[in-house]
Structure formats: structure tokens, C-alpha cells
Structure 1
Amino acid sequence: MTSTITVEHLWKVFGPKPERVVGTELASLPRAELRERTGCLAAVRDVSFAVEAGEVFVVMGLSGSGKSTLVRCLTRLIEPTSGEISIDGEAVRAMNARRLRDLRRHRVAMVFQHFGLLPHRSVLDNVGYGLEIQGIGRAERHRRAGEMLTLVGLDGHENQYPEQLSGGMQQRVGLARALAIDPALLLFDEPFSALDPLIRRDMQTEVRRLHAEVGKTLVFITHDLAEALTLGDRIAVLRDGELVQVGTPEDLVGAPADDYVADFVRDVPRSDVLTLRWIMRDPLAGETCEDQPLPATTVIRDAVPRILRAKLPVQVVEGDRVVGVVDADRLLPALISHHRQVPA
């Protein structure tokens, strides 16, 4: 796959003479000791990752982990201290002011926790605001804004004003505004954290639907594990500015990189996330199995009725290839406890 974003050895250090931290013995100091010795805060510490085209890439961490700083560095809303960032193969740190404006206006859009809607403008004009900045005429702005409002389920609200809308509806307006400029890349910085749980789930469903329909590359920042597991194709976990693990939801739940990640995922029901790959075993020589196999991508929870009804082991396949078998003996440990790993 082609990488939309490539980040290599990215640092962001706040404080006096931040460049003295990168590449020196100071870089290895814990955050508190670094602040005490230098007055500097290393918000992002030597982070590298790539985001593939069309992927939903979630950056997750506790408050103060550096995730919001990281996403703002991608378009230089915050200037990085050191490292390289490329978007569609173009070096972001090498861009001049004109090229950077073009990147922000045409190729990348951000959706923030605080909607930033203009209170004196109608919903339609709020959605078309980015197009207005691009110099698009009023008729075309309104046409495209109307299409985006239909896409996010806000037909009939074009002439209302932000104060007349609920929080969830306002966030839909913000999402429509971001989509209106037809960006290749969407950056979400905890956009739903101020919403109540029911509206938040609705908005997560909306993001998944829109991603399926429009196929944009998404980088999504959150502190909420459930949100990360719901939305992410892959998840990056940050701790004190450092990248701890990057992987699929299955990777994080099934094989956490350290105790920090394990603590994050310890209350996640493993059978709701892991697939049959995690519990299957090798077929025995001459073993007789059920006629109908199950795909290896089947989530364990969804395979429970079939496996428990089966009188024989069930084959697990990838395409036409048998990669393993699963039976009740392999299934039950995953259902009894999600606090320990299922034996290989």
C-alpha cells in the first residue's frame, strides 16, 4: 500500500533552546527530570510511523501523552523541533508559507473537539466556509455544501444557525465543513469527547459510515480505548510523548507490547476483538472436520454458536487455504477470561 503520511524521528520540545535536547544525553531523561534540569518539556519524543492510504489510524493516550501535539505537527500548526513529515511524498517541513497554506486549504482538513462554527453564519455558509477561502463562487459553494449536509444527515437544516443545533448536530456541521473541500486526509483531534455517550456512539457510527462511502485517509486522536477499538484499522499508543505500540486492535488486545498497554486493554472482552487466528490450532494428521469452514477473520464471539453446536472441529480458512482448526476446547478459555492470553 501507499503511505499517505510518513513520520520519521519526530520531536517536539517546548522550552528554552529545545534543539539542545534532541540527539544528546538529555533526550534519554524521563520527562520530569528533563523539565527540572532544562526547563523543557518533550511533548513528542522520537516518534516514527506511517499511515496508509484509506486507513483509519488512531493515536491513543492519556491526557498529556502528546497526541494532540503530534497531530498538530503534521501540518505545522505546531512547528516540530526535529524529524521528518511527508504527506503524499512531499516533505512538510520543507514547505514555504504558500505551499503550507495550500496543504491546509486543499489537501488536509481538521475536525476539533470545539466545533469552531461561526455563530453569525447559517449552517450552509459554515459548511461552505473553507470553499469560500479557496475562492469558490457562492453558487458552487452552496451546491457542494448542500451535498455534504446530505451526506452527514443534516438535510433541512441549511438555514439554521449553530446555536439552534444540538452538540451532535454541530459536530456533524464541522464534519461536513471538513469534507466540503474534498481533502485527501482528515485529522480528528478528540472531536467527540465533549458529547454525551449516546451522541458520541452515533458520531462514531457516522464516521465509520462516511469512511466506507468516501474512502478518505483518517487520523483520529482519542483518549478513549473503546473509541479507538471501534474506529481504528491500526492504533498507535503514546505514553509521555513516546510511541509504545502500533498495531491492529487485535494486536493490542491479544499481544500488548508492555504492562502499560496491557493495563489499557485489560477490561476489553477478548472474544469481542480477537479473531479465530488467536485460538486455532494446527490440524492433526487425518483429522475429520465439519464440512463448512469459518474464515480466519471471524471474531471469536461471532463463531461461538457454530463451534459449540459442531460435533467435529471446524476448519479455519484464508481464501481456499486451511490455516488451522478450532473446537470447543480452544474456544472456552477465550470466553472464560479475557484477562489472560489464550495459549498458542
Structure 2
Amino acid sequence: MVTLAPTPDSSPGKTRLSADAPPALVCRNLWKVYGANAETFLRENPEATPAEIRAAGLFAAVRDATLEIRQGEIFIIMGLSGSGKSTLVRCLSRLVEPTAGLVFYEHQNLLRMTPDELIQLRRHKMGMVFQNFALLPHRTVLGNVAFPLEVQGLPKEEREERARKVIDLVGLTERAGHYPRELSGGQQQRVGIARSLAAEPALWFLDEPFSALDPLIRHEMQNEFLRLQRMLSKTIVFITHDFDEAIRLGDRIAIMKDGVIIQVGTAEELVLKPASDYVAAFTRHVARAKVLTAGGVCVPVIPGEPLGPIVPASARLAEVAAAVLSADAPAAVVDANGALLGKLVKASLIADLVGGGQ
């Protein structure tokens, strides 16, 4: 008898975004080059090599970056220190002016916006959270969270009402009257997130927001982040250097090196089909059971062969390994509509888990 293999409750995991979601934020051939006459040099040397850029006394922090970030997606940008990930995000939000290229948000060209238009966009549609919480020490939690609404010019009663709702959302209701110095690191981070959410941004930039937290609080904040995203469905650009965090939070991941986007894909795509030796090295020590899915590693079924438990194609191998390994027949892998995609065999499953299967 064919039965559905039980999978552990993945809560508070994320809901996977459809690949058909429309793009929200797009950049084309984006460059950020520091140094005198950088724009002129790029215009005259559009295919300059890194060596030629250095020889001209310039430094390219971001080189020819092209991305499409989908509506409602958690898009992760990864790379070692100095890879250009923070500069790229600041170019996308125009906190840093790109040297060349295009940036569009909801079909608006950000690089053609006037300073006033950009201010309004940031006040009403963009939210930003950085590693440094930058809370105002002389304001309470309520005052900190209400601050962006005060900048927008909302009346005090309205902004405090909206701020209280967001404070409730991040679980700090009992701390609304406390000052930052009276809060733990995790609570301060929640205030930073609440303040960013108070303006109800559609596009949210987060630059290593949890890296300063200890592991336990960091895990709790990841849970909180996923819970908020399930409720709010923001378009999120999230920088991290932690691949485990990227796996847990991201829909897709971009890996950068020396200012260049080396590869963009799901965690599974990066592990199974690395575009370069650098990506392969970057993902080599990833816990494959947490990344690979049944659909990603299943093999064709021989017509008429008996099959054992049914496992969803989207299930991680860690979730179904016990059921597959204890069954007398290969597991049937099915898509969301129940259509048979392939099978999982014990020997190949073990090979995939230890890194030998392809």
C-alpha cells in the first residue's frame, strides 16, 4: 500500500514563492566605481577588466550587476567581506549613487528620480534595517517606532496607534514604555524591525540584521522574521554571510565575489549545479539534508515497479529520510498536484546526503 510519508512540522518555515511572481526590483549592468573621473572612464571603457580599472587608479565595488527580484520574494545576497554585497544594496536604494547602469522599482527608474521624489519613496515604500540598530536613546520603544511616522507628518494620535500595532506584531507590547538601554539585544533588534515596518514599506532592505546577536537570539529572530513575512509578504533584499541563515530564510540566493554576481539560484541549485569552482567551494560544507529536496534528486521510475511511501517533491531530504530508509520499496515523489515525478532509492538517498549523489 502506498502511503504519504509524514514530514515534521516545518513551522515557522517560509512559504515558497512562485517562480512566476512578477519582478518588483530590477537592476541592469549596475556599476559602482570609486575614484576620480570614474563615470568618464566607464563610458570610454565599457568592457574594462579589473586590472585596467585598478591601473586607472579606480576601485570597482560593484561590477556589471544584473538582477530581477520578484514581488514578495526574500532575496538573499551573500559573499565574503569586501565582495560588494552591502554596496550593491545601497546602490539599489540609492543611498549610494551608482556610477553606471539602471535601477527600476515597480517600473520607475530610481536613477531619474529627483531628491524629493526619492525622499518620498523612502518614507512611504522602502524600509531599511542594518546591523547597527541606531535606536534613539532618549526615546522609548513607542517613540522610536513612531519616529518615521512623525517624519511623514502624521498626527501624534495616529502615529502612536500605528506604532503600537507594529510593536504588538513583534511581541514587545509590554516594553512600549521602555528605553533602549533597558532592552536586551534581541529586543532592540525587534524595535529596529518594528520601526522599519511602521511606515508599511513594500520593499525592505536588511543588511546583516542578526549578525551581532548570539546564536539563540539569532535563531529566535529568524523565526520572528519568517512569521512576519508570512503575514506581510514584503519584497525583501537580505544580506548575510551565513549560508545556513540564507537557506532558512531565502527564496533565492545571489553569491558575489569581487563585486561580481557569480550565480543566482535557490540553495538547492547552488549546491547541485554550482556555476564556478568558487560557488562549489562556498557551498561545499552545507548540510545537504537541509537543502536538497526530493524533487531535486529523484530518479526516473521503471514502469510497473512497486513503490513505497509518497513524498512531496518540495520536501527536504532531512524531512523524509527516515520514511524512505525504513520502507521496503523506493519512495514515490509527487508534485503539488499528485503527479508522479520519480522515486527516491535508499542507496542514492544516502549518496545525496553525504555529497556523492548528483
Report TM bin, short chain: over 0.9
Distance 2:53 2:111 in 1: 26
2:99 alignment counterpart: 81
The Cα shift of 1:285 comes to 2.2
Ranges in structure 1 where 5+ consecutive residues have no aligned partner: none
Question: Is 1:3 paired with 2:23?
Answer: yes
Partner of 1:184: 202
Higher relative contact order (CA 8 A, sep 6+): 2
Structure 2 residue corresponding to 1:313, chosen from 305, 321, 330? 330
For 1:191 and 1:53, how far apart are their aligned partners in 2? Answer: 21
Give the gaps of 5 or more residues in structure 2.
1-20
Aligned residue type for 1:173: V
Conserved in 1, the CA contact under 8 Å of 2:33 and 2:61?
yes
- Answering whether residue 284 of structure 2 is matched by residue 266 of structure 1, we say yes
Q: Kindly state the Cα deviation for residue 269 of structure 1 after the two structures are TM-superposed.
A: 1.8
Matches of 2:232 and 2:66, distance apart in 1: 27
Q: Match of 1:7, SS? A: strand
Q: Which moved further from structure 2: 239-248 or 224-233? A: 224-233
- State which of 283, 290, 296 in structure 2 corresponds to 1:278: 296
Aligned partners of 1:328, 1:21: CA distance in 2, in Å? 58
Distance in 1, matches of 2:122 and 2:301, equals: 53
Q: Which secondary structure does the structure 1 equivalent of 2:173 belong to? A: coil
| Contact 1:26–1:34 under 8 Å retained in 2 | no
Provide the residue aligned with 1:158 in structure 2: 176
d(CA) in 1 for partners of 2:48, 2:220: 42
**Structure-2 separation of matches of 1:23 and 1:245:** 26
One of 254, 259, 266 as aligned partner of 1:236: 254
1:187 alignment partner, SS class: strand
Structure 1 residue 193 and structure 2 residue 211: aligned?
yes
Query: In structure 1, what residue type is equivalent to 2:122?
Result: R
Q: CA–CA distance in 2 between the matches of 1:25 and 1:96? A: 28
- What pairs up with 1:1-344 in 2 under 5 angstroms? 1-22=21-42, 25=45, 27-30=47-50, 34-35=53-54, 37-290=55-308, 292-318=309-335, 319-335=337-353, 337-338=354-355, 340=356, 342-343=357-358
Deviations 1:56-97 (A, max 9, x none): 001011111111111111121100011110111111001111
In 1, Cα distance between equivalents of 2:208 and 2:178:
25
Q: Partner letter of residue 47 of structure 1?
A: A
Q: Deviations over 1:104-155 (max 9, x none)?
A: 1000010011111111111101001100010101111111111111111111
**Percent identity for Structure 1 against Structure 2:** 46
Query: Structure 1 residue runs of 4+, over 6 Å off?
Result: none
CA distance in 2, matches of 1:202, 1:46: 36
Note the C-alpha offset of 1:2.
1.5
Q: CA offset at residue 286 of structure 1? A: 1.9
Query: Normalised by the size of structure 1, how large is the TM-score?
Result: 0.94
Contact kept, 8 Å, 2:296 with 2:313, in 1: the verdict is: no
Separation in structure 1 between the aligned mates of residue 333 and residue 219 of structure 2, nearest angstrom: 32
Superposed CA RMSD in Å reads: 1.4
User: Normalised by the size of structure 2, how large is the TM-score?
Assistant: 0.91
Alpha-carbon contact 1:21-1:27 (below 8 Å) kept: no
Q: Distance in 1 between matches of 2:129 and 2:289?
A: 32
TM-fit CA distance, 1:27: 4.5
For 1:217 and 1:157, the matched residues in 2 are separated by 28
Alpha-carbon spacing, 1:24–1:324, altered in 2? closer, same or farther (3 Å)? farther
- 3-state SS, counterpart of residue 31 of structure 2: strand
CA displacement at 1:28 relative to structure 2: 3.8
Q: In the alignment, is the contact (CA less than 8 A) between 2:300 and 2:341 conserved in 1?
A: yes
